[in-house]
Amino acid sequence: MLSLLLATPFLARAQGVTADSGSAMLAPGDLLRITVWRRAEFSGDFVIAPDSTITHPLYREVKVAGIPLRMTEERIRLFLTRYETTPAFVISPLLRIFVGGEVRQPSVYNVPPGTTIAQAVAQAGGPTERGILKEVTVVRHQQRERLDITSSDSRIATKEVRSGDQIIVARRRNFFLDVLAPSSSVFAATASLVSIIIQLRR
């Protein structure tokens, strides 16, 4: 089940606003890709500013954060009608998330709405040898939720990311690396210190 989820091309939903992504919302720091037919000056990848507007001289009056993407699309359409009667355009929102812990490429990622937690982990290179996919913590709005993304429960398998999510893959404990090796280092350091003290007293 998990291999199927991780193998799904997670960018498959980046082609504009879909019915599934219409209820998602952008937040400051997210990215909005706007493509306007034959109007390069209105096209590009734009970051959402702290005041919820689009960081572009022409779009700076359009507030798009904190509202459903369907409404975001309508606001951009209304703005573009100042320049064209029936503007042809596509918007592709990209949500900013962080994936860390025991993944191969921990970083901040911009992913399309509809991306699942499992697909976000895959985007970060998947788990390391010590990663535990049964213990993935999602921090959202200061609330923590632990998920087993190997579960066959469809509610977990299809759980989607939201803007600002922090996804942390837990680490499998290793007795030698986590307990024995540190203890040995402390013992060796203590033995060295005792040896130095003895030599000073001679």
What is the reported pLDDT for 11? 36
Asked whether the whole model's pTM tops 0.85, one would answer: no
Per DSSP, the residues of the chain read: -HHHHHHS-GGGG-SS--TTGGG-BB-TT-EEEEEETT-GGG-EEEEBPTTSBBSSTTTTT-B-BTSBHHHHHHHHHHHHTTT-SS--EEEEEEEEEEEEESBSS-EEEEE-TT-BHHHHHHHTT-B-TTEEEEEEEEEETTEEEEE-TT---HHHHTPBP-TT-EEEEEE---IIIIIIHHHHHHHHHHHHHHHHHHHHH-
Parallel/antiparallel/unpaired status of strands 31-36 and 44-47? antiparallel
The residue length of the chain stands at 202
What is the reported pLDDT for 202? 62
Domain ranges of the chain: 11-93
**Tens digits of pLDDT across the chain (202 residues):** 444 444 443 333 434 554 345 468 999 999 999 999 999 999 999 999 999 999 999 999 999 999 999 999 999 999 999 999 999 999 999 999 999 999 999 999 999 999 999 999 999 999 999 999 999 999 999 999 999 999 988 888 899 999 999 999 999 986 455 555 455 565 555 656 556 666 666 6
The single-letter code of the amino acid at 70 is R
**What's the fold here for domain 11-93?**
wza like fold (3.30.1950)
CB atoms within 10 A of CB 55: 15
Residue 144 Cα distances to 78, 118, 157, 171, angstroms: 39, 17, 18, 17
- Cβ atoms 42, 58 nearer than 8 A: yes
